[in-house]
Every structure is written in C-alpha cells, then in structure tokens.
A and B are shown apart, each in its own frame.
Chain A
Amino acid sequence: MKQRTRRYTQLITAVLYNCNIKGFAAGSIYNGPAKGVCVPGLNCYSCPGAVGACPLGSLQSGLLSSRYKVPYYILGTLLLFGLLLGRVICGWFCPFGFLQELLYLIPLPKLKKSKVTRTLSFLKYAILLVFVIAIPLIKLAPGFCKYICPAGTLQAGIPLTLANKPLRGMIGALFSWKVFLLALILLLCMCCYRAFCRFLCPLGALYSFFAPAAIAGVRVDEKKCTGCDRCIRHCKMDCRKVGDRECIHCGECMEHCPEGAICYKFLEKKGQDAL
C-alpha cells in the first residue's frame, strides 16, 4: 500500500527519461541539448525515446577518452548523484529497476535470498571493475554497453532494428549474444527479485559506495530499534542492515518494523503518512 508514491515516481521517471515518442516511430534518436545531462538511473542514450544521457555509458566514454581529457563532468555528476541520492536512485529513479519489479509480479516460482545470493551480490563490483573501468581504459571500447547492458539491447537495439528495416541487415553475432543475455536476465528477474540490480548492475555498485554518506534514504532510529531483525528478514534485497550498500531504499522494511523505528531521513516529524 505505502509503496504507491514510489511506484508513481518510478513510472513517471521511466516515461520522463524516454518521452521522445517521435523517435520510436521514426527509428531515430533525440539530439537536443538535454542529451548533455545524465539521468541518474540506467537508461540507454541510444534509446529513440531517451532525452538524457546514460551515466554508465557516459562514464565509459569518458574513461576511454581519459588519456586526452580527464572526464570531470561525468565524474562530478556521479559524485553529486551519489551524494544526494545514492541508491535511492535504484529504488525510485531507475526505469530498469522498475521493470524488474514488474517482472517479479509475474507468477513464477520465486528464488528466495540466501547466503548464495549475498555472495553473488559481489559480482556487480567485478563487472564494474572489468567492464566499466578496465575495458574502456585498456581496450578503448565501452565494455559494459557493448557486451552486457540489457537496457541498451531492450531500449535501443530492439526498437531501432525494428523501426529501421535495413538495420536488421547489420545484425551479427554480438547482437544475438546481447538479445540472448537480455532474455536470460528478464527471465531471471521473474523468479529472482531485481536479479540484475543485485548481481550485475555496475551503476548500483557505484552508487553503493555512497551508502554511508548519501543524504537521502531510509534510516533506523537506534533508540527505537530492538534488534529483532524483522526488517532484514522481509527485505527482498541482500541487505545485512537497513541502509547498507545493498539497500535500495524502497521502504518496504518500514511496514514490518514493530517499533516504527525506520523512516526516510528528513521525514521523521511529518511521518510516513505524508508519502
């Protein structure tokens, strides 16, 4: 019930990031000035509807050109997003995260979180290191975009090839791999809550470093907390504590706390009813 505000926000965010409807029909991408602004969540900038730039794509591009120019702009943008919102972005402002939550609603057998999933959550840091940082720096290619990113395949690869009949003639092995990976990830997300976010997303990995310092997010009032851990047991992510690096600040734990010790920062007085 109380997730309604978050759901609305996720929906509006997803539509806003991709409001260039014209592009879908014409099979082309937006080239206005807003494309110089990064959206906080994962949203491919080659999506026909995209009106902003992808932070991950821009980061990889900046890194592969870093020998000529230090990419201050994208680094500053990420620092700002991380500091102000951290993984609140994951829970509220990421279209791909929203998609995964919707996919999880499909009635299929569900994989519960466990020590295995907790261990798997480290994989995204490896992906960040290898595909987002190392490959652009060394091989001068956007590693994550090129070989993995399912958002790119879903938002750009598929709509653009559908709308541009001749582009289909250019499809090769890489496209097939990306479509296969996309299908796998989407299927996995139907059975495992936010599987991409938890195990694969390098952007989430990046933002997770800001968890101790991020200004927005959920918080536990230590004075009220009795340590019953009901919050962690009900949490669908691989958190050890509320608000740690795995927390996407969705706020579901708030409903389960018997002491009412969890709230969004800056909203203690007003109470959660405001949301």
Chain B
Amino acid sequence: MRSLNKQALIRALVLAAAIVFLTLGLKDGGFRDVKNKAIMICYECMGIG
C-alpha cells in the first residue's frame, strides 16, 4: 500500500512538472524553437560539415 502511494506521489509530481514545463515552454516560444531547428537540414546530424 505504501509503495502504491509513493508511486502515485511520484506520478503526480512528474505530471505536475511536465505540465508546468510544457506551459512555460509553449509560452516562451519553445515550440517555435524546436520547429526552427527541425526544418533546417542538420548537416551535423547527417555527418556533413
């Protein structure tokens, strides 16, 4: 029982952190940053230059 409560607590904390981070990230343009990086060919990822 105790371990179940502990697990529930961890889950709640992680979920809270995820929501907070996502909200902060969306607010400060994190989505746009990820998109901008993803739409440029990453020459480094390809092994070129």
Chain A contacts of B17 at CB under 8 A? Answer: 76, 79
Complex Cα gap A178–B45 (Å):
10
A36 touches B10 (CB 8 A): no
Q: A75-B21, A80-B18 are in contact. Are A69 and B33 (CB under 8 A)?
A: yes
Chain A contacts of B48 at CB under 8 A? Answer: 157, 161, 167, 170-172, 174-175
Which A8-47 residues sit within 8 Å CB-CB of chain B? 29-31, 33, 35-38, 44-46
Q: Which residue of B has the minimal Cβ distance to A51?
A: B38
Chain A contacts of B32 at CB under 8 A? Answer: 36
A220 at interface by CB-CB < 8 Å: no
Chain A contacts of B30 at CB under 8 A? Answer: 62, 69, 71-74
Complex Cα gap A238–B26 (Å):
38
Which A57-112 residues sit within 8 Å CB-CB of chain B? 57-58, 61-62, 65, 69-77, 79-80, 82-83
A53 at interface by CB-CB < 8 Å: yes
Please pick, from A33, A69, A167, the residue contacting B35 in the complex, using a CB distance under 8 A.
A33
Complex Cα gap A48–B38 (Å):
11
Number of interface residues of A (CB under 8 A): 58
A83 touches B45 (CB 8 A): no
A204 at interface by CB-CB < 8 Å: no
Interface of chain B: mostly helix, strand, loop or mixed = helix
Q: Which residue of A has the minimal Cβ distance to B44?
A: A146
Complex Cα gap A213–B15 (Å):
10
Complex Cα gap A84–B38 (Å):
24
Chain B contacts of A174 at CB under 8 A? Answer: 47-48
A36 touches B19 (CB 8 A): no
Please pick, from B7, B14, B34, B46, the residue contacting A157 in the complex, using a CB distance under 8 A.
B46
A69 touches B14 (CB 8 A): no
A156 touches B21 (CB 8 A): no
10 further A-B contacts with Cβ under 8 Å, apart from A75-B25, A212-B7, are A36-B35, A44-B42, A45-B38, A57-B38, A65-B33, A153-B47, A156-B45, A172-B49, A175-B48, A176-B47
Binding site for B on A (CB under 8 A): 29-31, 33, 35-38, 44-46, 50, 52-54, 57-58, 61-62, 65, 69-77, 79-80, 82-83, 141-142, 145-146, 149, 152-153, 156-157, 160-161, 167, 170-172, 174-179, 210, 212-213, 215
29 contacts between A and B (CB under 8 A): A37-B31, A38-B34, A44-B45, A46-B46, A52-B38, A53-B38, A57-B38, A58-B34, A61-B37, A71-B25, A72-B24, A72-B30, A75-B21, A77-B25, A79-B21, A80-B15, A83-B15, A146-B47, A153-B46, A156-B45, A156-B46, A157-B45, A157-B47, A160-B41, A167-B48, A176-B47, A212-B7, A213-B7, A213-B14
